[in-house]
Amino acid sequence: MRKTLVYIILLVLLGFGTYYFIFSNKQALYTSNEADFTIKDTASVGKIFIAGPNGHTILAERTDSGWIVNKQYKALKSTVNMVLRTINQQEALYPVVQSKYNNVITTLAGGSIKVELYDRNGNKMRVFYVGSETNDMKGTYMLMEGAKQPYVVNKKGFQGYVTPNYTYELEDWRDRTIFQLAPEQVQRISVEYPRHPLNSFVLTQNAGKVAVTGSPDIIQDKKLNERRAQVYTKYFRNVSCEGHLVHVKDVDSMLGVLPKRAIMDITGTKGQHQHVDIYWMPLNRRSKNFTAEDPNVDSNKFDADRMIAVANNFKDTMIIQTFVFKNMFRNLYEFYQGDSEEIYVAPPGEEQRKPQLMPAIPHKPAMK
């Protein structure tokens, strides 16, 4: 009986020792600086630097007016939020096993993404290297700067790997907004059609009163449809491009031979200004020409669904969608038609109402 009691006591002590050894080591894993890949207070992050293995780098900085990328571009909110969420949720799962240690270290040394995080005062918070995915695709190899032990890291509740979240391509970081003016902020909108100047117009707004001017041959003695003019100002509330043309050779030469579809110049009441030159895009492998039939589009030569735009003081060349811009391509005569002549199309964010006002695509051919 006494022996049995001794055995029971020994088993209890052994079990307690095992429990303590395992869980104390686990606690040590998550408190070790070498495994501390998590930043809980992402609001304290003031600067993010990411360097890719191809030499491309990203410097995102928090400013009073929002995040800025590479000292000159407004940052895309979704990308900034993705990185902040990742560093908030990622955690070390376990150290890399000894049998894979050399291969992982070699891979991290030769092809990893370097991530540097700084607080709002410029103090370094974390520097770590992001490698490839694990064989089961449920983790990412990472190594803290100065550490010897790499870890398998992942986000809580996430099945996959986080390497793509640390993108180092400028295209993924740049904001794509072209116009962002509330209707009451619109002061002047100029739309010029180089090949059809009679359709060009200038809309101005002062204290809620709109005016649309253009060729007297079109206006004649007709009365302005003020409601249409007011609706037109709503199309500039939140307009974005599909993406920027980067790393494309001879863009300037290409634009030099492409015809312009339109020139748009927008001024806001608070000094906002945007000038956009819009070119036809040649047919290419992506062209599908799904857009409804438009007499202004030569679908045998040009992409009906996409165009090329140059904006932001001629610094940015972008791809824009016809679907997004078609309601901005109005003709002067449309502002001097009665409501019953055409169909109203609601601007983004506004519910469709009864048939009135402007059509999605002009029903009349462009005037020559």
Question: Where are the alpha helices (H) located in 32-53, listed in sequence order?
Answer: none
Residue 70's H or E segment, with its range, is none
> b/e map of 44-72 (b: 16 or more CB within 10 Å)?
ebbbbbbbbeeeeebebbbeeeebbbeee
User: Residue 108, Cα to own-chain centre: how many angstroms?
Assistant: 28
- The number of angstroms, rounded, from the C-alpha of 36 to the middle of its chain's C-alpha atoms is 29
pTM surpassing 0.85? no
Position 159 scores a pLDDT of: 84
How high is the pLDDT of residue 24?
44
| pLDDT reported for residue 172 | 94
Tell me what pLDDT residue 348 has: 52
Given a cut of 70, the residues of the chain with pLDDT beneath it are 1-32, 247-249, 289-300, 341-368
Q: What angle do CA 323, 327, 329 make, to 5 degrees?
A: 105
Q: Express each pLDDT in 321-358 by its tens digit.
A: 999 999 999 999 999 998 876 544 555 555 544 434 44
